[in-house]
Structure 1
Amino acid sequence: MHSIAAILLAAGLSSRMGPQNKLLLDVEGEPLVRRVARAYLSVLDGPLTVVTGFEAEQVRTVLNDLPVHFAHNAAFAGGQPGSVATGLKHAPEAELLAVGLGDQPLLTPYDLTKLIAAQRAGDSKKITIPVHAGQRGNPIIVPRALRHRLTENPARPGCMRFTRDHPEHVQAAELDARGFYADVGYARRLREAVRTRQRGRSMTRTHLWLRRLLHKLKMTPEQADNIRFPCC
């Protein structure tokens, strides 16, 4: 059995980006979803299962030369829970299973390694979630013993509902790397950074960082204003 495998959710409608699929945004010369997939592949000893949905062919095209497996959620318009259920159905058995998002531009292999280490240092029977300053991040790490619990209620599948309904099965890993949280409050922070720059105020280090990220993603302020990322 594999030590750790992963599900990467890449099925969302990306409706708040207008005509642009955020997973295909250019980040330093490569599509965002490819950048994230490579980060996962560098730390896994098991398969990476990519769940596709919206613009599935385009997503597959930018990942086709990577050693990933694909699972298609035909009902992707129904939201993230169905994509998690699709991934769980197709991902192979492993001691640990990471469930993450395809749109985290700052997530690094080092971040993932730290999260896996935190899970192994804690209660091996619990789901591990990165947390910092009251924010929950992604991905989460699910032990094999709890994997089936995420789909035991077919009307409410997925990790978000389960981890909130069953806190006794969850442990927090205090990790401050920005890669885990770039999708939490991301639109608000980008919007404020852009507005601060436009008002001509001196910018904090955080604002400078956000400005650089905005440039990397090749996004307009209007696009940034409309992003809202889900959270497991």
Structure 2
Amino acid sequence: MTPNILILAAGSSSRMRGADKLLEVVEGAPLLRRVAGVALATGCPVTLVLAADRPARRAALDGLDVASVTATEATEGMAASLVAGVQSLPEGSAVLLLLSDLPLIDTPDLTAVIAASAADPACVWRGADPDGTPGHPVLFPADLRGELLGLTGDEGARWVLARHAARVRLVTLPQGHATTDLDTPEAWAAWRAGGTAP
């Protein structure tokens, strides 16, 4: 079954000191638009969870065939955004959870995770670096929808991953694709300079 891709993009970007990391330009486009385009290229339905107070993010998606949900309780933590997004998806569908601040993620990464799930849909499939460090995306089977909807606070889906650790399988992605996220101006500057982001 084709999963629904859910992109969480309602965070405050607070460590950017006034800038918005999701609007940083990567490969000629705002990061948020680039990640949405990468997701669309899989052929899967794509939904983004956005914050009401970030109109520039919505504008960055103009013209893309994506659905969007407003996370009215986004300030309560990542779980609120995740729950708002999952509630909007069809019941019975698997969910490919993707963070919006991964500048290296690409369509082959997502299709690799989707293909792994197609071969063994009972598992939770998670992108990882070659050294085994887990990251994103994470594909949750449909039977875990109820647990995702029960999340609270700022833990995201970690609780569900921990509870079902025996079902988690890693998909090795190119170095940094699953784990590189840039939360500060210094991290962005270091990354663009080709160094290691702090």
Alignment TM-score, normalising by the size of structure 2: 0.85
Structure 2 counterpart SS, 1:49:
strand
- Partners of 1:5 and 1:44 within 8 A in 2: no
In 2: Cα distance, 1:93 partner to 1:213 partner: 43
The equivalent position to 2:69 in structure 1, one of 47, 71, 81, is 71
In 1: Cα distance, 2:84 partner to 2:142 partner: 17
Aligned to 1:200: none
Deviations 1:22-78 (A, max 9, x none): 011112321110000000001033x21100116431111111211111111112122
1:30 is aligned to 2:39? no
List alignment gaps of at least 5 residues for structure 2: none
Aligned to 2:124: 127
Aligned to 1:56: 54
Letter of the 1:12 partner, please give it.
Answer: G
- Partners of 2:124 and 2:138 within 8 A in 1: yes
Deviations 1:75-131 (A, max 9, x none): 212221111111101122464321111111111111111111122233x21211122
Q: Going by fraction, where is helix more abundant, 1 or 2?
A: 1
Aligned to 1:85: 83
- Partners of 2:79 and 2:151 within 8 A in 1: no
Structure 1 counterpart SS, 2:177:
helix
The equivalent position to 1:143 in structure 2, one of 137, 141, 144, is 141
- Partners of 2:13 and 2:183 within 8 A in 1: no
Aligned-pair identity in percent equals: 30
CA RMSD of aligned residues (A): 2.8
List alignment gaps of at least 5 residues for structure 1: 195-209, 215-223, 226-232
Aligned to 2:95: 97
Letter of the 2:17 partner, please give it.
Answer: G
Alignment TM-score, normalising by the size of structure 1: 0.73
- Partners of 1:9 and 1:50 within 8 A in 2: yes
Deviates most, 124-133 or 99-108: 124-133
Q: Name the larger-Rg structure.
A: 1
